[in-house]
């Protein structure tokens, strides 16, 4: 569109920013919800194992995203 702005690169930066920024925060929040579902139970009730599995999966995704970001920063 313009000689000064590369729109294709701008969309790529926007997508990576949304996924790496708000996306990882949202996944972390889902992990906290799963952990809360696992831990918050009345005395004597069985724990909700699905909540723990969801929490572990979400936290692994967040840790992987953080590691990928560090690798990308340190590679240059």
Instruction: Tell me the whole-structure pTM to 2 decimals.
Output: 0.77
With a cut of 70, say whether residue 5 has pLDDT above it.
Answer: yes
Enumerate long-range contacts of 61-67, CB under 8 Å, 24 or more apart: 61/24, 61/27, 62/24, 62/27, 62/28, 62/31, 65/20, 65/23, 65/24, 65/27, 66/24
pLDDT in tens, 6-64: 888 888 888 888 888 889 999 999 999 999 988 888 888 888 889 999 999 999 999 99
With a cut of 80, say whether residue 1 has pLDDT above it.
Answer: no
């Amino acid at each position: 569109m313009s000689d000064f702005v590369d729109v294709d690169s701008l969309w790529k930066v926007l997508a990576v920013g949304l996924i790496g920024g708000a996306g990882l925060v949202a996944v972390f929040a889902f992990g906290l919800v799963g952990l809360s579902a696992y831990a918050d139970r009345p005395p004597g009730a069985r724990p909700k194992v699905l909540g723990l599995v969801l929490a572990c999966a979400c936290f692994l995704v967040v840790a992987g995203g953080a590691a990928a970001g560090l690798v990308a920063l340190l590679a240059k």
